[in-house]
Copies of this chain bind each other. A is one copy, B any other.
Amino acid sequence: MAKTRQLTPEVVIETAARLANELRDASRITLTDLAAELNIRVPSLYNHVKGLDGLRRDLTVWGLQQLLAATRQAVLGQVGRDALLAVAHAYRAFAHAQPGVYSLVLKAPPPEDAQLTALSNELLLILQLVLASYNLQGEAALHAIRGFRSVLHGFVSLETGGAFELLLDRDESFNRLVEIYLDGLSKN
């Protein structure tokens, strides 16, 4: 049928993810670096990804799938506040483990990309279900999702961006923030 691939899609994407995480920002990957890492010439990359934009898009899908899996795992068998706390910690752990990939995942998916949009919606659906078990439904739940995402994204993006430099325990800061928000949610 064809010349056997030496590179599988998995190797390409995982190598790109590693580079992105080392740079701590996916917008800094270059095809030049990726090709060098894979021991092929730059134009050969076009057999695997649709240019730089395609690579970023593939990385985003890959990252969203990981975040989704981690979130599902975290809420397994939990409801209410415990489930929300578990989501919060899984989210932060993901951003710490994969800072470069994280920088892609939080961006809003382009509406014309069905796969990305679907993954993004699945995450929202999980949050919606968990909030339902926290007695939040309808518009209140939607406002709560926006708030919860803001809290999580705001903290981890400032944190991984190096904004919290003081010698003050970051876990403690995060826990206080999440607890204040969840307490406030339950008191409405």
A166 CA / B149 CA spacing, docked (Å):
14
Q: Tell which of A1-9, A30-38, A49-57, A177-185 binds the partner.
A: A177-185
Inter-chain contacts of A77 with B (CB < 8 A): none
B106 engages A147 (CB within 8 Å): no
Instruction: Check A152/B149 contact, CB under 8 A, given A142-B166, A181-B181, A184-B183.
Output: no
Chain A contributes a number of interface residues (CB within 8 A of B) equal to 38
A84 CA / B163 CA spacing, docked (Å):
20
Interface flags for A156-188 (1: CB within 8 Å of B; 0: not) read 011001111110101011001101110111010
A159 CA / B23 CA spacing, docked (Å):
26
A interface majority secondary structure: helix
**Which A residues, 74 to 114, have Cβ-Cβ distances below 8 Å to chain B?**
106-108, 111
Asked if A135 is at the interface (CB within 8 A of a chain B CB), the reply is no
Instruction: Check A149/B158 contact, CB under 8 A, given A142-B166, A172-B143, A184-B181.
Output: yes
Question: Could you write out 19 A-B pairs with CB less than 8 Å apart?
Answer: A27-B27, A106-B161, A106-B163, A108-B163, A111-B165, A143-B172, A146-B155, A146-B177, A147-B155, A147-B176, A147-B177, A149-B163, A150-B151, A150-B177, A151-B151, A152-B154, A153-B157, A179-B184, A181-B184
List 8 extra interface pairs beyond A146-B155, A151-B177, A179-B184, CB under 8 A.
A106-B161, A139-B168, A143-B168, A146-B158, A146-B173, A147-B177, A154-B157, A157-B157
